[in-house]
Amino acid sequence: MSRKEQLDAVRKGVQNINRAKEEPVDANAVIIGNFLQGYIAVDEYGPGVTVMTTDEIISALSDMADLEQAAVNQVLATIGYKPGRNEAGSFGWLMKHIDI
């Protein structure tokens, strides 16, 4: 690698660091978003719909993140998930599993 290529790589890296400072990434939102990739938001309970509580989501992701209920709820509500009940009366987020 030439000296010019090395300097260009360093400049690019610094630009990426500066951009990241300007546009910070919410790592927890990324983790929750990736978890939800196998689901879609639905408006009501029906066939194939799962009711998952906030605590179940936190538990499923506990190896990757230290999540708080408010943060999980904020992400789910922001991207369109709705709370609801199944026929047994359990309350949680309505989501339908999909194949990706």
Evaluate if pTM is beyond 0.85: no
| 78 in any annotated domain | yes
Domains identified in the chain, total number: 1
Give residue 6's pLDDT. Answer: 63
Residues of the domain holding 56: 27-97
Q: Which residue has the higher pLDDT, 3 or 62?
A: 62
Return the residue matching tokens 């938001």: 41
Give residue 100's pLDDT. Answer: 73
Rounded to whole angstroms, how far apart are CA atoms 49 and 39?
A: 9
pLDDT of 20 > 80? The answer is no
| 39 in any annotated domain | yes
| 14 in any annotated domain | no
| 8 in any annotated domain | no
Q: Are 35 and 98 a contacting pair, CB within 8 Å?
A: no
pLDDT in tens, 57-73: 999 999 999 999 999 99
- List the CATH number of the domain containing 59: 1.10.10
